[in-house]
Amino acid sequence: MQKLRITAVNVCRFVLAATFIFSGYVKAIDPLGTLYKLKDYAAAMSLNGLLPDWMLVGVAIALGALEFALGVFMLFAVRRHVVSRITLAFMAAMTVLTLWIFVADPVKDCGCFGDALKLTNGETLLKNIVLAACAALVAWRPVDMARFISRSNQWIVRYYTVAYIVITSVYCLYTLPIFDFRPYHVGMNIKQGMEIPEGAEQPEFESTFLLRKNGETREFTLDNYPDSTWEYVDTRTVQTKKGYEPPIHDFALTSCDTGEDITEQVLTKKGYTFLLVSPRLAVADDSNFGDIDQIYEYAEENGADFYCVTASANDEIERWRDLTGAEYQFCNADETTLKTMIRSNPGLMLLKDGTIIDKWSHNALPQTDDLTAPLQQLTIGKAQNDSTTERLLIVLLTFFLPLSALTLADRLWAWSKWIRNKQSNNRIFNLFKTEKKMRKKIVAGNWKMNMNLQDGVALAKEINEALVADKPNCEVIICTPFIHLASVAGVLDSTVVGLGAENCADKAKGAYTGEVSAEMVKSTGAQYVILGHSERRQYYGETAEILKEKVDLALANGLKILFCCGETLEEREAEKQNEVVKAELEGSVFHLDAEAWKNIVIAYEPIWAIGTGKTATSDQAEEMLAYIRSTVAEKYGAEAAEETSILYGGSCKASNAPELFSKPNIDGGLIGGASLKCADFKGIIDAWKK
């Protein structure tokens, strides 16, 4: 069942990753296309003009970059919690949006995949429902996503991805989209693109006629059209079948000088034609008009035609002529067609025999140095080979290859670190095997919420007496509920039995009803406090940050700390115990300096072993404690690690204590249930004598 869940989460994660990388990339390489789509949506919501175009371009770049980055982060399982939640929120919002476009039909194409893949509104809705379900599953269990790169190196993926996609997007905005998915791509013969193949499905229309007679108006079809005594009023025609739509169906040029349709003339011209495309001259960038004029002169000299194609009216054309000294011919075409033809305003297109052989943004026009001979002799005048594969390769080499290399290096690094740790642990083991006595051996009882005051004091007395009579060869501590502390302190011989609380507040003092401060604990005579117990984390929501406050306050008040850490059964089954324990230490105690660290005792208590009767095997416990010690060594050095007492807790009894305590890294136990009876507790303490 668990395996199935993990597989499902990872399948969903890869589906989301692939979709987001694709949809983000195609948006990012075509920021103007995304901007046009955003404007379609804004118009449908009557929000047109809310933001200026330059801001919308920023939104378009950010949207593409966000989707792409979410996809890559999902793929590499970077920041799993945050990324999966943002993805879910994103998918939820998109599903609502597409439900709206499905029902109200305000835009024809959702624009999810730019021009690369067009879906109907129904298909989009279905796709988003599936993706939202995937996102929900991943957000439910983000830690099931297997990591390819260790956490410490993930920042490289994060920064590289964001920088890569933003730079790509800005580059494409400055020049032209790296991949052109529109029908007017290089290599397309416009005339052929407009042809309807023989036998293709024809669109079908149905007309109804409104006719009137004697004041009565009725609807008729061709089948029941009445006699001439009826007077015609109106015709309504609806398309009943879509039919075949050629890739180019909206290309028509009208000369601004003569008003003639020159489409055929341009498309059948033998030789070269430059089309300077500007959907709107009023907002066209005029900074490169010098280059444009020179290309026009070059065209004139070399027998090539040159037209400026625009949707602008005459006054705008005149303004442009005045501004740039343009002498070329102008013709009109549909604005949307022009926006589709080239993502630059203005942009330049070169046709040879009606086929598009090159396209340039106004920022990257051919320079006079490039135009030194007739076009047929220049590279730009030759039909280019399809370079899609080449460009795909560049993307793979510049993005995925470095990240794959990083993944490989990271895995090698993690593997070598593991080997080094193992070796250093072995060195530490050997050291501890001989010098274990250097560290304090401790048996601590945690009474939890048991014993009323009278019973508690009686038990403390009994333990005290037993240990005074038969001195332990380890340190013994009993940790009791707050209300026992002062009374129990009164009956203990503090040279034989130490006293601790089970908790303290994360605030120093003040209006915190029901809380007990570290200072109050200290004032009872207690020397210790347990912090970070899994029951407090689990039932009382104690987070790493809260525990950090408690740790600082306890130390500030002169208390020593028994700091607990440990993983759940699920985390162990997912082999995450090291990660979990390290994070708990890093989150709450590793901020301490070396001096303060001397007051910390660590208790490793696997949650699955607490109060369950299911003890970790002595080897499992030893392995974890050795790992914890190596983590302490990494942080505070081998000497400090050697002096840190690390206890095991979880169903520890007199029967299994000798075996556990015989392990080189186990310095004692934190005992729950078995500390509530003097004989049981003493049995564990005596394990140190065996």
Write out the two tokens for 46.
């009557």
Task: Write out the DSSP string of 205-252.
Answer: EEEEEEEEETTEEEEE-GGG---TTSEEEEEEEEEEE-----S-----
Shortest CA distance to 176 belongs to which of 413, 349, 359? Answer: 359
- Pairing assessment for the beta strands 347-352 and 646-649 based on DSSP bridges: unpaired
CA distance 337 to 178: 20
Residue with tokens 């029967």: 655
Closest CB 524 distance from ligand 13P, rounded Å: 20
Which position among 533, 571, 584, 622 bears the catalytic label? 533
**Which residues of 588-630 form beta strands (DSSP E)?**
600-604
Closest CB 19 distance from ligand 13P, rounded Å: 45
Closest CB 609 distance from ligand 13P, rounded Å: 6
Distances in Å between the Cα of 19 and the Cα atoms of 80, 230, 622, 679 are 17, 59, 45, 64
**What is the largest distance, in Å, between two alpha-carbon atoms of the chain?**
126
Member of 176, 526, 672, 684 binding ligand 13P (CB under 6 A)? 672
Q: How many CA atoms lie within 13 A of 10 on its CB side?
A: 12
CA distance 526 to 282: 81
Closest CB 671 distance from ligand 13P, rounded Å: 5
Positions 643 through 662 that interact with ligand 13P (CB under 6 A): 649-652
User: Smaller CB distance to ligand 13P: residue 281 or 589?
Assistant: 589
Q: Is 305 in the site for ligand 13P (CB under 6 A)?
A: no
Query: Prior bond to 279 cis, omega within 30?
Result: no
User: Smaller CB distance to ligand 13P: residue 375 or 657?
Assistant: 657
What's the CA angle centered on 237, arms 234 and 241, to 5 degrees? 170
Please name the amino acid found at residue 315.
D
Closest CB 432 distance from ligand 13P, rounded Å: 23
User: Smaller CB distance to ligand 13P: residue 125 or 652?
Assistant: 652
Query: Prior bond to 346 cis, omega within 30?
Result: yes
CA distance 13 to 30: 26
Task: Give yes or no for a contact between 441 and 668, defined as CB atoms under 8 angstroms apart.
Answer: yes
Q: Is 456 in the site for ligand 13P (CB under 6 A)?
A: no
User: Smaller CB distance to ligand 13P: residue 173 or 561?
Assistant: 561
Positions 363 through 402 that interact with ligand 13P (CB under 6 A): none
Tell me: is residue 446 an annotated ligand-binding position: yes
Residue 284, φ and ψ in degrees, nearest 5: -75, 150
Q: Is there a catalytic annotation at residue 533?
A: yes
Question: Which one of the spans 179-187, 263-271, 331-339, 670-678 is the region binding ligand 13P (CB under 6 A)?
Answer: 670-678
Query: Roughly what angle, to the nearest 10 degrees, separates helices 2-28 and 31-44?
Result: 100
User: Smaller CB distance to ligand 13P: residue 370 or 455?
Assistant: 455
Which position among 67, 475, 535, 605 bears the catalytic label? 605
Closest CB 535 distance from ligand 13P, rounded Å: 7
Closest CB 584 distance from ligand 13P, rounded Å: 15
- Pairing assessment for the beta strands 668-671 and 646-649 based on DSSP bridges: parallel
Tell me: is residue 448 an annotated ligand-binding position: yes
Residue with tokens 């089970």: 502
Tell me: is residue 510 an annotated ligand-binding position: no
Tell me: is residue 673 an annotated ligand-binding position: yes
Tell me: is residue 672 an annotated ligand-binding position: yes
Tell me: is residue 332 an annotated ligand-binding position: no
Positions 309 through 348 that interact with ligand 13P (CB under 6 A): none
Count other C-beta atoms under 10 Å from residue 92's C-beta: 14
Question: Which one of the spans 156-164, 165-173, 507-515, 672-680 is the region binding ligand 13P (CB under 6 A)?
Answer: 672-680
Task: Give yes or no for a contact between 443 and 668, defined as CB atoms under 8 angstroms apart.
Answer: yes
DSSP assignment letter at 399: I
Residue window 568-607: x/- pattern of binding to ligand 13P, with contact defined by CB under 6 A: -------------------------------------x--
Distances in Å between the Cα of 637 and the Cα atoms of 387, 563, 630 are 57, 19, 9
User: Smaller CB distance to ligand 13P: residue 526 or 671?
Assistant: 671
Q: Is there a catalytic annotation at residue 204?
A: no
User: Smaller CB distance to ligand 13P: residue 144 or 502?
Assistant: 502
Count other C-beta atoms under 10 Å from residue 105's C-beta: 10
Number of residues that bind ligand 13P (CB under 6 A): 14
Member of 193, 481, 668, 673 binding ligand 13P (CB under 6 A)? 673
Positions 512 through 551 that interact with ligand 13P (CB under 6 A): 533
Positions 601 through 620 that interact with ligand 13P (CB under 6 A): 605, 610-611
User: Smaller CB distance to ligand 13P: residue 188 or 671?
Assistant: 671
Write out the two tokens for 140.
């439910």
Closest CB 136 distance from ligand 13P, rounded Å: 35
Q: Is 670 in the site for ligand 13P (CB under 6 A)?
A: yes
Residue ranges binding ligand 13P (CB under 6 A): 446, 533, 605, 610-611, 649-652, 670-674
- Binding site for substrate: which residues? 446-448, 611, 651, 672-673
- Binding site: which residues? 446-448, 611, 651, 672-673
User: What is the set of active-site residues?
Assistant: 533, 605
